[in-house]
Structure 1
Amino acid sequence: MIPPVSPAVHMASTRPAASARYLKLAALILLASLLMPHPGRAGEPSPSTTLTADQKCIAMVTYAEAGGEGELGRRAVIQVIRNRMDDPRFAKSACDVVRAPGEFQPVTMSKRLRDALANPAKADMASALADFGVDRTALDEIARLVALGPNGVASAGPTSPDSTDGALFFVNPHLMDPAKCSWFAKLKRTAAIGGHVFMTSYAPGESSTGPALDCSQVAKDWAAFQKANPIRARGKRHPINPDWLVPIDRSVIAEGGTCSTGTYDPETRTYQKGDC
């Protein structure tokens, strides 16, 4: 006859088995959590590779214009592109907005970027932005911001307020051509974010609130920027106009080894090319 096992002995004999089961369960839970996808985890597709063509156009120009500005500055540039899309004087698609001749200075100065914007669906954004130095973390952050909005064109989300207060233009006062200042000074200043001043046109009949820019204080770094950033065309050096989003009056654009000057009419928003 087998002697009965006391409750104390029975409990002691079953504890190791129960503990083992708990340990196995905990190990399985931990393993499952490690295998689940996490934002930013190695092996996960970069946000910059999952954007639509229009989103890529926005992201590339935003990086070129404000990659080092931080989130607020980046959102502001995205917002200006969106504002232009909503304005009947500009194109309706993001790519057409940023491809407009003479409107976005980085597009004017970089053939790589222009080529990428011409066929954004197939463009590799990091390669397209090589002329500006590529920080992949910053590029991914911009891609996430672009992807948040409806159709990829809002600054930070469907209900995000417009930090630029309706701006259609922006400039970096320290890096702008002083010859352009008088044109911008007549606009309505709406915000100053990061290194840029944001502006829009006055509504018909709206009273001026004063100069948008102090032309006596602009272009502090213009001469140095001219020297450091030439556009080469037909073997000649032509200074670029780093006045971000400028409606240029005279611009030198290098494309396919040819050189042409152009004139821009800010009233009709038309651009006419000429010969060098």
Structure 2
Amino acid sequence: MAPMQNYVAIILVSALIAGCASTPSTRATRESSRQVDAAEQRCLALAMYWEARGEGERGMLAVGSVVLNRVASRDFPSRACAVVRQGGESPPCQFSWWCDGKSDVPRARPQWNAALTTADYMLRVRPKDPTHGALFFHSTAIKSPWLRSRERTVRIGGHIFYR
């Protein structure tokens, strides 16, 4: 093969390899460029903050997954804010922090920032669900007899998850 043909062949093979190698990152870019509704992000972040702010990213992902699993279920509202607020601001409600009569303004700035970042990530990328499809959870500090009929999926941090 002549030197110019070698050069062209090298360029073509390099372009082909680069194109194949960039496919996953192109997919990731497409996924990460999903539009995120600011209100939905805030509602998801509030749920993660109030339910799991002391449990790190994995605990927040687990609580966020329950909210998003409910959004995907026909048995619950189809928006994160509606899931979080289901039942109104007086008991019984779905999330006790929502209907306890106290302020829902986050006070711990680092944990709030982590919740916002995690909510944004979950809404853009849709990571693997660490709860295995859970629709319910409760603190390990309480007994919940109403969940006896549900399948326990996992314990993460201070919460037990069920579907």
Alpha-carbon distance between aligned partners in 2 of 1:198 and 1:96, rounded to the nearest angstrom: 21
In the TM superposition, 1:60-71 aligns within 5 A as: 60-71=46-57
State the alpha-carbon separation in 1 of the partners of residues 115 and 101 from structure 2: 19
**Contact 1:171 / 1:197 at 8 angstroms: preserved in 2?**
yes
| CA distance in 2: counterparts of 1:110 and 1:58, whole angstroms | 19
Q: Please, which of 138, 146, 150 is the counterpart of residue 171 of structure 1?
A: 138
Q: Which residue of 1 aligns with 2:75?
A: 89
Q: CA RMSD in A?
A: 1.7
1:108 corresponds in structure 2 to: 99
Partner residue in 2 for 1:148 = 121
Which amino acid counterpart does residue 58 of structure 2 have in structure 1?
L
**Where do 1:155-166 residues align within 5 Å?**
157-158=125-126, 160-166=127-133
Q: For residues 101 and 61 of structure 2, what CA distance do their matches in structure 1 show?
A: 22
What SS class does the counterpart of residue 57 from structure 1 fall into?
Answer: helix
Q: What is the Cα deviation at residue 188 of structure 1?
A: 0.2
Displacement of 1:111: 4.1
Within-5 A mapping of 1:173-188: 173-174=140-141, 176=142, 178=143, 181-188=144-151
More helix by share: 2
Equivalent AA in structure 1 for residue 149 of structure 2: K
Contact 1:173 / 1:196 at 8 angstroms: preserved in 2?
Answer: yes
Which TM-score applies when normalising by structure 2?
A: 0.70
One of 134, 137, 140 as aligned partner of 2:110: 137
1:177-234 CA-to-partner distances (Å, cap 9, x unmatched) read x4xx32212210001000000001xxxxxxxxxxxxxxxxxxxxxxxxxxxxxxxxxx
The structure with the larger Rg is: 1
Does the 8 Å CA contact 1:51/1:143 hold for their aligned counterparts? no
DSSP-derived class of the 2:103 partner = helix
Native 8 Å contact 1:57 1:98 kept in 2:
yes
1:194 aligned onto 2:161: no
More strand per residue: 1
Q: Which amino acid aligns with 1:163?
A: P
Q: Give 1:112 shift.
A: 2.6
Gaps of 5+ in 1: 1-49, 114-127, 201-276
1:224-243 alignment, distance < 5 Å: none
Flag the 1:97–1:103 CA change in 2: closer, same or farther, 3 A.
same
How far did 1:171 drift? Answer: 0.4
Give unmatched runs, 5+ long, in structure 2.
1-35, 88-92
2:28 maps to which residue?
A: none
Q: Secondary structure at the match of 2:153?
A: strand
1:55 — aligned with what?
41
SS at match of 2:115: helix
Helix, strand or coil at the partner of 1:80: helix
Counterpart residue number, 2:6: none
Structure 2 counterpart of 1:72: 58
Contact (CA 8 Å) 1:74, 1:142: kept in 2 or not? yes
Q: Distance in 1 between matches of 2:131 and 2:101?
A: 26
